[in-house]
Amino acid sequence: MNSRPLMLLRFATSATEEIGSTPHGKLSIFPVTGGSFEGERLRGKVLAGGGDWVTAKADGTFELDLRVTLETDDGALIHMTFTGVRDDANHYLRTLARFETAAPKYAFLNRLLAVGIGQIRPEGPVHAIEEIL
């Protein structure tokens, strides 16, 4: 499959909210307090208020479910979601990202699917998001 870089996305998170064991597994919420994104076609900051709903599954992997709002440097708001898998045993953190925006300049985001290659760094999670061509 062909892809091309869309953005490098960094999140700042605050203290994890541990919901605990639910019927689906152990649920932890990672509130997103900020961050930044940068790519050839868009750049800006991550607004506070989103988060990643992370469920620890019985097989030792984590299911990710993220919702955030991105604000571009020219003032457009972009709703971003991803689902994904974090499998620490195999150093695998991959996400499937989608975007929604009303800004005509960024309407191309409404029409694409994307994959994220994630890393957990000391300063927070970093995701290299690639557009699926």
Partner 1 sequence: MNTRLLMMLHVTVATPQNIGAVPHGTRRTAPLSGGDFEGPRLRGTVLPGGSADWLLLRADGVLEMDLRVTLRTDDGALISMKSFGLRHGPPEVMAAIGRGETVNPATYYFRTTPRFETAHPAYAFLNRLVAVASGDRRAEGPIYTIHEVL
What are the residues binding partner 1 (CB under 8 A)? 1, 3, 57, 59, 61, 83-85, 87, 90, 92, 94-96, 98, 107, 110-113, 115, 117, 130, 132
CB nearer to partner 1: pick between 57 and 74: 57
Q: Which is nearer to partner 1, 111 or 121 (CB)?
A: 111
Closest separation between CB of residue 61 and partner 1, Å? 5
DSSP string over the chain: --EEEEEEEEEEE-S-EEEEEETTEEEEEEEEEEEEEE-SS-EEEEPTTEEEEEEE-TTS-EEEEEEEEEEETTS-EEEEEEEEEEEGGGTEEEEEEEEEE--GGGGGGGG--EEEEEEEETTEEEEEEEEE-
CA angle at 54 for the pair 126 and 48, rounded to the nearest 5°: 55
The least CB distance from residue 1 to partner 1, in Å, is 5
17 versus 112: smaller Cβ distance to partner 1:
112
CA distance 86 to 43: 26
Task: Give the nearer residue to partner 1 in terms of CB position, either 91 or 121.
Answer: 91
Q: How far is the CB of 88 from partner 1 (least distance, A)?
A: 11
Q: In the bound complex, what is the minimum distance in angstroms from residue 34's beta carbon to partner 1?
A: 26
